Structure 1
């Protein structure tokens, strides 16, 4: 069902309609966003008159450079309307048609933005979990994922090895640190990617922090300038309101909120008697393979996870990525307890909601029409 990209759009729009309906009935307090991607737009009253097309950059650019370098390291900062936009601009700027983009990940597969950008640049694409494998001779850009969509975090020693290996071959390195810029540093004590020698690093300002959905890139001045030039060419750069909100979010970032997630996770797991779960740095995931009662229904893991996610949303107001994520996003049922709403949801309520979702989906897993209406509306 979800292999069709059109159905992916229908699935997401159906979930957003459910959120809209619940907001009308219960207000924002009836929604618990546990995606870890809820972000925010933390503008101050004084910012509103300064977010014009030309005034905004003049006011916020210097603060963006200062706050961005503190968060990411590097020589220069650039802001984009999404992390995917930053990756696209970098691939277009730094690769030659016919060359290879070689991608290292702690766990396959890649976020679709990397192979998709490579295709648009008319370059070849290869990905690997083997951090000892050397990139092909025709490689023009090495990409390393710092933390995967399901929060698998790269070892710092592996990251350093790849950076040194690429530099020995004269290849620039881009670290896709969408959530890793905070997971790796705050919870794992790793150094910032640019401090490890990465030429470029990009993070999402809405992942594990309360900023807007946008991309923040740091790195070498000469490369940032090339990437910015390509971004301006295709309208990939962040506009003034987004830049202002990024600045505010960076200035207000508080690492302790991520650390508090560990306590919530321990409380949840202590009394959970449902299917097997796997811990993530800031929460947990439920593997579809552990949902034994739902197996053999003819549906794959993506559909099962999405069905559960839709029940959690429609019946309990709990937002997870399989319901609302962009087409191509991971369908793993992940609960991020570093999310802002996690601080106001009762752990017992979350446990019971998961039990209820499993029970309800089990009741009509073999009814194709009900499953289709549940997922697609």
Structure 2
């Protein structure tokens, strides 16, 4: 390659080979074979346009001119562009945030049984809405509603794409143009500024607030009931807690009142669970079965939080109310596809053997990992990370606290261990820690931690054996590449 003067620029550009000649060259044959002619052609034109623009800019501004077009460099540029264009935007990451059900990182991880079921549904036709017994069209809810009812004690069930949709559909079907009585202390907001009053408005129902933020009595519900009342509603405050001078009218009080007045009670459990988590040393949450047995006529809850399944919203309750909900036009818009049903059924089946749940259900296994087990992992990773980062930083294995996440049990924490990265000179990290955090995010498999108290913190609760081996290999490669 040799530099040319500005006066020779036009002649240089004229000697650039035609697009068709480049496409037909031996260097581009593997690209065309791998990515297809259309993609390669577009990427090549972009690369040539960019080269011409740089050449013209250099000549106009009096800068040193570009050298003659290098065919090898052109091929490398096009290949890099194609690789970047075809890389999936949805990437696997290491969740070292300390939040098990991290909303931004996909919440619950599915067990192997679900993964296999989804693969089958992806690659083979399935009886999604086909009744194998009668040979006629079926209802996709039939695939799992019997199982859901078995586990919850409800009369009937249906599934939509998330719990917000479950609440929206329930209110639209049962309370449109009527009033729904809710305690002021239960008007929650979840992620993305999604608020109970807003969803009630979108459903066409009128919110009737009762009580105060911290105290609501049974008489408040009683006095609010009128001819326009459709439902009494309880919303489980799963993403916040009020303490101090408080009073809450429980479901066991509200349900008899509602039924005596000819009304139904709907309960939004949010991150509902099917088992008593205290059996595994976790904070206790009301189960769906307990809620049904306490008198709830409709219960809504998530599939991808404490349940440990795919994103879904489950609605269980009285048969007549579920039938009305399923007939509503919104049900078709909010229904789930075959992949969600394929993933959900194996998760629900795991609950038939609760004594094996902590071993088989990924979410519960991560939540119940012992601090000692995580500490051992931290010690194994600490040396490798220290070598990879070099002398500018110190890496220490220290105790820390994980959280469940996704609005589940927000004030409860889980003893854990992890790695804490600080500046070796003892100074505040500032931009250096931010740069390191960015560097980790840009690795082949991004490492996601959090910066707090002038340190980068990597909680290893969610780093199981296979992921630990991959992380160590990735860090080792980083260290050897220095």
TM-score by length of 2: 0.47
**1:263 Cα offset (Å):** 5.7
Cα shift at 1:92: 0.7
Map of 2:94 onto structure 1 = 30
In structure 2, the CA distance between the partners of 1:240 and 1:267, relative to structure 1 (3 Å rule), is: closer
Query: Does 1:144 pair with 2:234?
Result: yes
- Say yes or no: does 1:317 pair with 2:447: yes
- The Cα shift of 1:190 comes to 4.5
* Structure number having the greater helix percentage: 1
Query: Are 1:108 and 1:129, in contact at CA under 8 Å, matched by a contact in 2?
Result: no
RMSD between aligned residues: 4.7
- Is structure 2 residue 248 aligned with structure 1 residue 118? no
Answer whether contact 1:183 1:281 (CA < 8 A) is retained. Answer: no
Cα gap change, 1:102 to 1:264, in 2 (>3 Å) = farther
Following superposition of structure 1 onto structure 2, how do residues 47-196 of structure 1 map, counting pairs within 5 Å?
Answer: 47=121, 48-51=123-126, 54-55=129-130, 58=138, 61-97=141-177, 99-104=178-183, 109-111=188-190, 112=194, 114-125=196-207, 126=209, 129-133=214-218, 134-135=220-221, 136-138=224-226, 139-150=229-240, 158-182=250-274, 187=282, 188=284, 190=286, 192=289, 193-196=291-294
- What is the DSSP-based 3-state SS (H/G/I as helix, E as strand, rest coil) of the residue aligned with 2:181? strand
Task: State the distance in 2 between where 1:122 and 1:24 align.
Answer: 40
Contact 2:316 2:322 in 1 (8 A): yes
| Residues in 1 aligned to 2:460 and 2:297: alpha-carbon distance in whole angstroms | 30
The structure 2 residue matched to 1:261, chosen from 348, 362, 367, is 367
What secondary structure, in the 3-state scheme, does the structure 1 residue paired with 2:108 have?
A: coil
> In structure 2, how many angstroms separate the alpha carbons of the residues matched to 1:164 and 1:198?
10
What's the CA shift string for 1:121-155, capped at 9, x where partnerless? 33322265535243212432222223522488999
Confirm or deny: 8 A CA contact 2:162 2:313 kept in the other structure: yes
Deviations 1:248-288 (A, max 9, x none): 2211346436386356579999x6589xxx9744649xxxx
Partner of 1:14: none
**2:340 is aligned with 1:242:** yes
CA–CA separation in structure 2 for the residues paired with 1:155 and 1:240: 43
Report the equivalent of 2:404: none
In the other structure, the counterpart of 1:202 is 300
Question: Which whole-Å deviations, capped at 9, do the CAs of 1:203-238 have from their partners, x for residues lacking one?
Answer: 211112432111111110100011111155651122
- The alignment covers a number of residue pairs equal to 282
Q: In structure 2, how many angstroms separate the alpha carbons of the residues matched to 1:82 and 1:46?
A: 23
Query: Where in structure 2 are there 5+ consecutive unaligned residues?
Result: 1-83, 132-136, 376-397, 402-408, 416-433, 451-458, 472-482
Distance 2:449 2:336 in 1: 26
Instruction: Provide the C-alpha distance between the structure 2 equivalents of 1:336 and 1:94, rounded to a whole number of angstroms.
Output: 45
Residue 318 (structure 2) aligns with = 220
Residues 216-365 of structure 1 mapped to structure 2, 5 A cutoff: 216-232=314-330, 235-253=333-351, 255-256=357-358, 258=364, 261=367, 264=370, 280-281=411-412, 283=414, 314=441, 317-318=447-448, 341=462, 343=464
Q: 2:321 aligns to what SS in structure 1?
A: helix
* Inter-partner Cα distance in structure 2 for 1:201 and 1:172: 11
Distance 2:155 2:371 in 1: 37
SS of the residue corresponding to residue 102 of structure 1 reads strand
Q: Is contact 2:128-2:140 (8 Å) kept? A: no
Q: Which runs of 5+ in 1 are unaligned?
A: 1-19, 285-306, 321-334, 350-377
Structure 1 residues 279 and 137: alpha-carbon distance in aligned structure 2, compared to 1, 3 A threshold: closer
Q: Which has the higher contact order (CA 8 A, sep 6+)?
A: 1
Distance 1:183 1:259 in 2: 14
Aligned equivalents of 2:225, 2:276: Cα separation in 1: 30
CA distance in 1, matches of 2:186, 2:439: 27
Report SS of the residue matched to 2:324: helix
| Offset at residue 54 of structure 1 (A) | 3.0
